[in-house]
Amino acid sequence: MKYNLTPELAYVIGLWKSRRTSEGIGIHGSSEICEVFLRACLKLKIAQPDKVRFIQPEKEARLEGKVYFYHTALRAFFDEIVENELERFKYVNDYSASFIAGMFDGVGGISHDGKFPYFEFGTREDEALILRLGFRVKREKKRIIALEKEKFLKFIKPKLKFMKI
């Protein structure tokens, strides 16, 4: 089956990219972020409810939970999108905003002083992608920091599903 990229699917791929599990198509994290991912997948009808594995986090052990399902063709599609993210998301539009919002929901945050949004983990491709979209960023080890808070948040805020900004 051939898949078409939509802004909603771009969000799911961005979230998956930032928090992927080693099993199938899935993410790890708190039960809230896993629920956001699962709802998006079910809404897009890319996952069947009876085929999804949801492992709750243990509260005493402070372990992360995970949600995943298996779909070989879809996994290949996700891998291809991530591999070519610089080409796929080179324009300022709903697709790139959704992809970056998914990544931000996965590993993003706002600095303690409230001045800068950041991605806790990011690749050089992620940094290049954000730069190409017209946002100034700086890199500190694995962290990517957006230097223009208002402009950056205005771009992704309508697409966020987890972070409350």
pLDDT tens-digit profile of 121-150? Answer: 999 999 999 999 999 999 999 999 999 999
pLDDT for residue 151: 96
User: Is 82 inside a domain boundary?
Assistant: yes
The tokens 């399902």 sit on which residue? 69
* Inter-residue contact 11 to 101 (CB < 8 Å): yes
Q: Which structural domain range is residue 92 located in?
A: 88-157
Distance CA 84, CA 140 (A): 24
Query: Same domain for 140 and 69?
Result: no
Query: Same domain for 60 and 112?
Result: no
Closest C-alpha to 132, from 76, 90, 162, 161:
90
pLDDT digits (tens, 9 = 90+) for 13-70: 999 999 999 999 999 999 899 999 999 999 999 999 999 999 887 765 567 899 999 9
Which token pair is 81? 């999108």
User: Is 70 inside a domain boundary?
Assistant: yes
pLDDT for residue 60: 56
Percent of the chain topping pLDDT 90: 88
Query: Same domain for 48 and 119?
Result: no
Residue of higher predicted confidence among 91 and 62: 91
Query: Same domain for 25 and 36?
Result: yes
Residue 47: Cβ within 10 Å count: 24
